Amino acid sequence: MNYQNIFNLHGRMALVAGAGSGIGRESAMALAAFGAHVICADVNEAGARQTEELIHASGGLAESLEMDIRDAKKIDAALAGIAPIDILVSTPSINVRKPVLDLEEDEFDRIVDLNLKGTWLLLKYVARGMAQRKRGSIIVFSSIRGDVVEPGQGVYAATKSGVRQLCRALAAELGEQRVRVNLIAPGVVETPLTLQIKNHPDWYAAYADKSALKRWAQPSEMAGAVVYLASDASSYVTGSVLHVDGGWTAIDGRFTPPV
């Protein structure tokens, strides 16, 4: 084993869904930095194009395309126009913060349609090709909300728990085809999805205080986990959830007793 090349991604094609901003953008840039040719996909085509330009400016290989993972036909059409995918990173999610009993049916459908069904559609279309070629690494973003919940996040948490079991099943089904499927569970990360919290100082500070590191994460701090799971460094890792949460899920309760 040449350990100096264990993270080398040269010659591999990566598709990052949600690459137009936040964690998706940082994931795309990190994969490109380690040599992957990155397809920056997003429902926001302008955002995807901007990520492509950032990668080019850094000397990396990239292209961009519009993709709505809620639409099977659009996924299929997008994949038909690009090279076979070796690495898939799926980041898109939405949340509607409401108590379970107050959530409207259309809000429930909107969350599930993207977070769970959209992820399933993307996996279905990309993983088939990987299985046929007998190689590939799939990385799906779950959340600490797949472990622990709080008021107002019931359906979001259900989808994040659901994608875990979906990916674990896929890992079991595709193991013999040498396709690995893993998840990353971030803690609180400063992204467009969490802007609502950042605008409330007390809420923002309470979340920072909950983790062992006493701060929020930046989207770039998810990138190392993505590169690890995409590379040969994780060649025997599949069906796993990698927590990148600053110790959030390791800590019991909100009170630190005197010791």
pLDDT tens-digit readout, 212-227: 999 999 999 999 999 9
What does the pLDDT read at residue 196?
80
Contacts of 232 (CB under 8 A, 6+ apart): 5, 6, 7, 8
Contacts of 29 (CB under 8 A, 6+ apart): 51, 54, 55, 58, 60, 223
What does the pLDDT read at residue 76?
95
What does the pLDDT read at residue 12?
98
Positions marked active-site = 156
Task: Tell me: pLDDT of 77 over 70.
Answer: yes
CATH code for 3-241? 3.40.50.720
Task: Tell me: pLDDT of 111 over 70.
Answer: yes
| pLDDT band per the 50, 70, 90 thresholds, residue 256 | low
What does the pLDDT read at residue 197?
86
The percentage of the chain sitting over the pLDDT mark of 90, rounded to a whole number, equals 90
CA separation for the pair 192, 194 (Å, rounded): 5
Mean pLDDT across 62-83: 96
pLDDT tens-digit readout, 183-238: 999 999 998 778 788 889 999 999 999 999 999 999 999 999 999 999 999 999 99
CA separation for the pair 136, 155 (Å, rounded): 30
Task: Tell me: pLDDT of 9 over 70.
Answer: yes
Helix (H) or strand (E) holding 169: helix 154-174
Average pLDDT of every residue of the chain: 95
Mean pLDDT across 239-257: 87
Cα dihedral 125→130→131→132 (10° resolution): 100
By residue count, the chain amounts to 259
Task: Tell me: pLDDT of 258 over 90.
Answer: no
Q: Does the predicted TM-score (pTM) go above 0.75? A: yes
What does the pLDDT read at residue 65?
96
Mean pLDDT across 176-185: 98
Q: Where are the domains of the chain?
A: 3-241
Mean pLDDT across 55-84: 96
